[in-house]
Each structure stands twice: as structure tokens, then as C-alpha cells.
Structure 1
Amino acid sequence: MAEETTQQVGPWLVRAVWGAGPFPMELHITTDDAEAAAHGITQTVLREVQLNRLVAFAGHRLKAVEAADAVADAVMALNTHSTGAKGSLSEDYYRALAEAYSACRAVFMRHPVKYLAEETGRNAGTIRNHLTKARKLGYLEGD
């Protein structure tokens, strides 16, 4: 699951390893040049590392992590409202379903209906019908 970004600074290769979080887990600075290795990493090399690219990448990762958290929170809220009897669904359920669906769409999830069906223990057709009702109730627009 780890991703890597690399940057060449003179004879030095700077490699950042990213885990699930928004910031790099590791930062490696290496070289195959024996002469550069003999002189060591200088302040000049460190100044040339484009931290702004790393920070921009971290910002994108942070947004992705926040969006994934929003989906998880919305699904949790949906599950708290869908624990009642199968035949009686509250307005809170339809509102939570609309929010969960919108959160899934915000992260460009390929099959949000299938995902929500799996998470709620309902079938996809039922979720589609409930989304239609949520749309009619004004909790969901477009799509």
C-alpha cells in the first residue's frame, strides 16, 4: 500500500515513502556516485530537495484521508439509522443514506450503491429504491 515519490538532486536520489497517512513515513537520500558519497550530503543538497512538492503531495494525501474518513463516518451514521424494522424507515435514515451516497460520490467511488448495500446488509436494488425516495424527499439532488 506504500507509495513512493522520487526526486533527483545532482548525484543524489531523494525517495519519500508514503503510508496510509498524509505525510511520508520515510525519506531516503542515496547516491551511486562514490565521490559524492565520500563528501557526504551537504546543506546545498538538502536545500535543493523540493519540499514544496512533498508538501503538495502530502496535502493531496491528507484530503484523500479526510474524504475516506467522511465516507466511514457517513456509513456509520447510516447504520445507526437503519437498525430498525425493515419495513419502517425514518426520515433520518433517508437523510443519512443521502449523505453516505454523496460522500461516496465525492471520493469518486466506482460503485457506491453496491458498497452501501454491502455495508448495510441490504441488496443494491433496495438501496437504489431508497435513494430514489431520498431524492423525492429532497435529501439528494442530481445524479
Structure 2
Amino acid sequence: MEADGSGFEITQKQGAWVVHMWWPVGPISGGPQRITIEPAEDAPAREVARGISTTVLRRLDVVAALELAKQAPEAQRTLEELSGKVNEMGEAAGLALEGEGVSERYLTLLVATYTVMADFGAPAPIPWLARLIGRRPETVKDHLKRARRDGFLTTVAGKAGGELTDKVKAILEEMTEAGSQGG
């Protein structure tokens, strides 16, 4: 495993070829974002001349590389940082819900927390979010539906998450500015 400032890679040798699989620094939520295949230093010239075969491609062990990548210190450190940030955001959403009910501020915090969780591949983000804010998963689902209906969050077909709308980004910016002026 090798790391640089922006990511890290797992290297495998397949016959006459060296395969580099690269992930950005951060929690690992899927396969590599870049794969580079080049001749090994000791590769026979005739193998290199034939090019990369489909056999080489079929033998790529992306699953093993993914497991190694998940154990990388760069992935673990940022996963812990992300988990702390998500917990803080979720607790803030819970406090907003307690104090204000299903307000714009609450929905903003809810969708912001939810999208961070979904973007980084958190398994079962709704039950986790429900525990953070002290509500049942069904309630959180209803609140997310309302947030989508009210223009806080877009829909991504077939997967958890969505994109924060300009409305939410503006509210988050106001909250950040208010927080920095108040402290």
C-alpha cells in the first residue's frame, strides 16, 4: 500500500502486469476511483507486446484490494472524523426538533446529516440517524419525505441520499455565520 497527499493505492501483480488501484483519502464506500495497469519491470517483452488480456482483467482482485483499502490508516482516520461530525450534526438536529418541531432549521440539519452519511456509504443511514435524534426510523423517513417535498433535498433514483438544494445551502451558511458571530 502506498499513500500520497490526496489518496492511496493498492498494488497487485497479475502475470506480466502491475495493477495500481487508487482511492482518495477518506472513508471507503466502494471500489477504486482509478485503476492503472502497466508492465512489470521483469515482464517478458513478448507479453508486453501482446497487450493486456481479458484474463488479466478477470483476475483483478478488486474485493481483496477494497478490504485492504478499508484498513488503510487514511481511511480509518477520516472515518473517525466523519463519525464525530455526523454525531454532532445529528445531535444538533435532535435539539432543533425538540425546541422547534419540524422547522426549516431542523429539516436542514436532518438532510445535511443524512447526505453526509449516504455519500460516505454509511450502512443503514436512516436507523443510525433515528438513534442520533431520538426518534423512530419511520418518523425520520417521513421527515426526509417532507424535506424532499419542501425542496430541501433532491432524489437520487435507486439509492440513499440526494443533493442538498440551494435553499438548504443558504440556511446552513446563515447558521454557520450566526454560530461564528455568537461564539
Compute the TM-score of the two structures, normalised by the length of structure 1: 0.52
- Aligned counterpart in structure 2 of residue 69 of structure 1, from 50, 68, 81: 81
1:95 aligns with 2:95: no
- Corresponding residue for 2:91? 79
Cα distance in 1, alignment partners of residues 137 and 155 from structure 2: 19
Q: CA deviation at 1:75?
A: 3.5
Q: Which runs of 5+ in 1 are unaligned?
A: 1-52
Aligned-pair identity in percent equals 19
Q: Which runs of 5+ in 2 are unaligned?
A: 11-21, 28-76, 157-183
1:8-47 matches, within 5 Å, as none
Moved over 2 A (4+): 57-62, 65-72, 84-87
Q: CA deviation at 1:139?
A: 1.6
Cα distance in 2, alignment partners of residues 73 and 133 from structure 1: 24
What secondary structure does 1:140 align onto? coil
Matched residue count: 91
Compute the TM-score of the two structures, normalised by the length of structure 2: 0.42
- Cα distance change of structure 1 residues 95 and 67 upon mapping to structure 2, 3 Å threshold: farther
Structure 2 letter corresponding to 1:63 = G
- Corresponding residue for 1:105? 118
Q: How much is the aligned-residue C-alpha RMSD, in angstroms? A: 2.7
What secondary structure does 1:66 align onto? helix
Q: CA deviation at 1:128?
A: 0.3
- Cα distance change of structure 1 residues 132 and 86 upon mapping to structure 2, 3 Å threshold: farther
